[in-house]
Every structure is written in structure tokens, then in C-alpha cells.
């Protein structure tokens, strides 16, 4: 009996952390796609808690509700991606800060702080190789077949 | 022995600091320290959850939960959105495994097929259409990282405390008594028959909703009326 409660507790705890991580991602990330992925993570957490409760109560209702959540998530993703693509066509980037004109009237605008560019992986100076060997010559036979290749 | 609320508070602080360090802040510095902080917070928090302590009997659940949570953390922490999407796929795999462990095998398969197979691929499709190059400036710098990390850690802490308080209460024990000894196993056929008898109206509503979403997406993204009405 208590084992059942412990199982339920474990599943609900994992679900709570999933919801929390999704919330952090949705609040802090600025890429619209990542924001929607975070929202989907929150949905996953809720689904997990519903399935755990359904198992605890020996009821199929939890699984049914998750089934409808999946269908709803598909509909939500279709609408959200259509909106994201439209907004990308208008502003040219996936940055949600490009739409900050829609904020509350008394909120200060978000200003992009200057920060150094990302260090690139390419070396600053390429090694210099001295030319060596002889240039390969061209034979008549090769020239004869070259246009056919 | 440290009191559980102190461990929980420490885990919340560590988790907030770790998540703040992991979020893109313009520099790549401190990300390893952030991962260490977040792992320490996860460990301290997991030690409070009963049922996670017995690793041998719950090793499968532990592995699946760790995969799910670590992948979710890596999803919000990775700078490249493509990697975020792939880490989200890993989260889905972990969640599907947890569903399977609970006995909801149809939901596990549906999660993999619908989420990872259709929704995630659509996300990746849009991502690669609109942002094929690597880290952009808005992916490298998140906004409100401090507040967001604090909010998330606070939410997780409050939810964990509430869970402990509720699940140790008398009402839950009474419900467990009432529910019987063993968790029932539902065959797939029963799920299907239940879906199309008791829940047939919601199925129709969901179908209508999907159709409406389809038409709506087409209307939103369509070119609009090119020829003016006469």
C-alpha cells in the first residue's frame, strides 16, 4: 500500500521537475521554437502526472486524458508553427524580442547588450606549405579521352 | 542528519545557480560549473524522494527519470536550437519509457509516434527552413535568466513540498486502501473499447478540433486573397 504511494510520489516528483524545467525554458529562452519546445515539456510533465494518478486510482481516465492531450498538442503545434513561420517572414528572425512592441505600456524596452562575438573554431593563421614535387604532366592519350569523361 | 527542509532549500539554491550558469549568457564560461551545481541539486533533491532511495529495485525508473530530466535540462541549456530539439526528443523517449513502466503502453507508443515522429520533425523542419546557420545572437543570450531560474527552482521546491505534505496525509492513505492491493493492468482492447463507448463524444470533439487547427494553420500561413473581390 505504502509502496503504491511511494511510486506515485516518484512519478509526481519527476513530473514536477519537468514542469519546472519547461517553465524556466519558456521564460528565459528567446528563440520561439525553443519556447514552444519548453511548453511541450510542460505538457509532458502534466501527462506523466495524469498517468501516475490514473494508475494509483486504478482508473483509465488518466490515460484517456493524456490521449486527448496528445491530440491537442498536435493541433497546438500546427497553429503555433504557422504563427512562428508568419512571424519569421515578417521580422526575419526567430527572436521573440523582435515583437517587444506588444509589451505592456509601462514596461521599459528590452535592449540588446553588447557582448563579444563568439570565438570561431578556425585558426587565425593557416600553416604555410612549401611546394614540393613535380607537376603531373598530361599525355596525349589522356587528352584524347578527357572530353568524353 | 540534516533536516529535509534544509536539504530542499539547498537543492533549490543550487539548482537556481546551476540553471543560471547553464543558460546562455554571452560567454561559455561557467557552464561546466553550472552542470555540476545542477547535478548536485538533482542529487540532493532526489535523496528526499521516497522510492528513489532504493536504487536496486527502482533502477529502471531511476535511469528513465534521469534520462528524462537531464535531457530536459540540456534542452533549455543548449545554445543551438537544433540541439534543443534533439534533446527534447530524448526527453520524449524517457517519458515514453516511464509511460511503459506505468503500464500505459499505448500512450508510450503514441508519444513516440505522434510527438517524436510528427511534431518534433515538424519543429526541426521549420527550424532548418528559417535558421540554418548556427548560434545566433538571440540564442546565445537569454533574457531574465536569473529570475527565470529562481522561479523554476521555487516552483519545483513548492511542488515537492506540497507533494510530500499531501501524499503523507490521511486522505491519500485512505484512497490507497480503497483502491486495492495491486495496480490493475489494463489490456489495450479495454482502452480501445472504453475510448469508443464512454469517451466517444470527446473523440468527435478532438477530431473536429484537429480539423479546425488544420484549416486554421492553412489560413494563417496562406498567401491570402491575391485577387481583390469585384
Q: What would the pLDDT profile of B137-165 be if each residue is shown by its tens digit?
A: 778 788 888 999 999 999 999 999 998 88
* pLDDT, tens only, A24-38: 999 999 889 999 999
Does the pLDDT value for residue B76 go beyond 70?
A: yes
Q: CB neighbours of A38 closer than 8 A, spacing ≥ 6?
A: A21, A22, A23, A24, A25, A26, A29, B75, B76
Instruction: Pull the grid cell for residue A9.
Output: 510520489
Residues of B in contact with A115 (CB under 8 A): 26-27, 140-141
Report the complex ipTM. Answer: 0.76
The pLDDT, as a whole number, for residue B229 is 57
* pLDDT, tens only, B177-209: 776 655 556 778 888 888 899 999 999 999 999
**Which of A24, A49, A87 should be substituted to probe chain B, the one whose Cβ sees the most B Cβ atoms within 10 Å?**
A24
Tell me the residue length of chain A: 149
Q: Which residue has the cell 486527448?
A: A68
Q: Which of B84, B110, B213 sits opposite A67 (nearest CB)?
A: B110
Q: For domain A2-99, which architecture applies?
A: Orthogonal Bundle (1.10)
Residues of chain A predicted below pLDDT 50: 1-2
CA distance B101 to B103: 5
User: Among positive and negative, which fits the CA dihedral B214, B217, B223, B228?
Assistant: positive
Angstrom CA distances, A24 to A35, A80, B8, B49, B56, stand at 10, 19, 19, 22, 32
Domain assignments of chain B as residue spans, ordered by start: 1-48+143-184, 58-141, 186-221
Residues of A in contact with B29 (CB under 8 A): none
Q: Which of B143, B160, B173 sits opposite A110 (nearest CB)?
A: B143
Q: B91: closest CA among B76, B106, B107?
A: B76
pTM of the model as a whole: 0.77
- Domain at B58-141: CATH code: 1.20.120.1200
The CA distance from B229 to the nearest CA of chain A, in Å, is: 24
CA distance B217 to A78: 6
Amino acid at each position: 500500500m505504502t509502496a503504491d504511494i511511494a511510486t506515485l510520489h516518484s512519478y509526481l516528483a519527476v513530473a514536477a521537475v519537468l514542469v519546472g524545467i519547461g517553465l524556466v525554458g519558456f521564460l528565459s529562452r528567446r528563440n520561439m521554437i525553443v519556447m514552444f519546445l519548453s511548453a511541450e515539456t510542460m505538457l509532458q510533465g502534466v501527462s506523466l502526472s495524469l498517468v501516475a494518478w490514473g494508475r494509483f486510482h486504478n482508473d483509465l481516465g488518466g490515460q484517456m486524458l493524456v490521449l486527448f492531450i496528445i491530440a491537442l498538442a498536435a493541433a497546438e503545434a500546427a497553429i503555433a508553427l504557422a504563427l512562428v513561420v508568419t512571424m519569421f517572414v515578417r521580422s526575419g528572425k526567430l527572436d521573440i524580442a523582435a515583437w517587444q512592441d506588444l509589451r505592456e505600456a509601462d514596461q521599459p524596452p528590452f535592449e540588446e547588450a553588447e557582448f563579444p562575438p563568439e570565438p570561431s573554431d578556425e585558426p587565425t593563421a593557416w600553416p604555410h606549405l612549401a611546394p614540393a614535387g613535380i607537376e603531373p604532366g598530361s599525355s596525349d592519350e589522356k587528352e584524347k579521352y578527357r572530353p568524353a569523361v | 542528519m540534516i533536516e529535509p527542509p534544509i536539504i530542499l532549500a539547498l537543492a533549490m539554491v543550487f539548482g537556481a545557480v546551476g540553471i543560471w550558469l547553464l543558460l546562455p549568457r554571452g560567454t561559455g564560461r561557467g557552464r561546466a560549473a553550472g552542470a555540476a551545481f545542477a547535478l548536485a541539486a538533482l542529487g540532493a533533491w532526489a535523496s528526499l524522494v521516497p522510492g528513489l532511495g532504493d536504487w536496486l529495485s527502482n533502477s529502471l525508473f531511476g535511469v528513465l527519470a534521469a534520462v528524462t530530466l537531464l535531457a530536459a535540462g540540456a534542452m533549455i541549456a543548449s545554445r543551438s536550437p537544433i540541439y534543443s530539439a534533439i534533446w527534447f526528443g530524448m526527453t520524449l523517449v524517457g517519458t515514453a519509457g516511464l509511460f511503459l513502466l506505468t503500464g500505459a503502453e499505448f500512450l508510450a507508443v503514441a508519444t513516440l509516434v505522434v510527438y517524436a515522429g510528427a511534431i518534433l520533425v515538424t519543429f526541426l523542419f521549420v527550424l532548418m527552413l528559417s535558421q540554418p546557420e548556427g548560434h545566433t545572437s538571440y540564442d546565445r543570450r537569454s533574457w531574465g535568466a536569473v529570475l527565470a531560474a529562481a522561479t523554476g527552482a521555487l516552483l519545483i521546491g513548492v511542488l515537492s513540498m506540497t507533494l510530500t505534505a499531501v501524499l503523507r496525509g490521511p486522505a491519500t492513505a485512505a484512497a490507497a486502501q480503497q483502491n486495492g492491493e495491486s495496480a490493475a493492468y489494463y489490456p489495450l482492447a479495454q482502452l480501445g473499447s472504453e475510448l469508443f463507448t464512454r469517451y466517444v463524444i470527446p473523440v468527435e470533439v478532438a477530431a473536429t478540433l484537429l480539423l479546425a487547427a488544420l484549416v486554421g494553420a492553412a489560413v494563417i500561413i496562406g498567401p491570402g486573397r491575391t485577387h481583390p473581390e469585384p
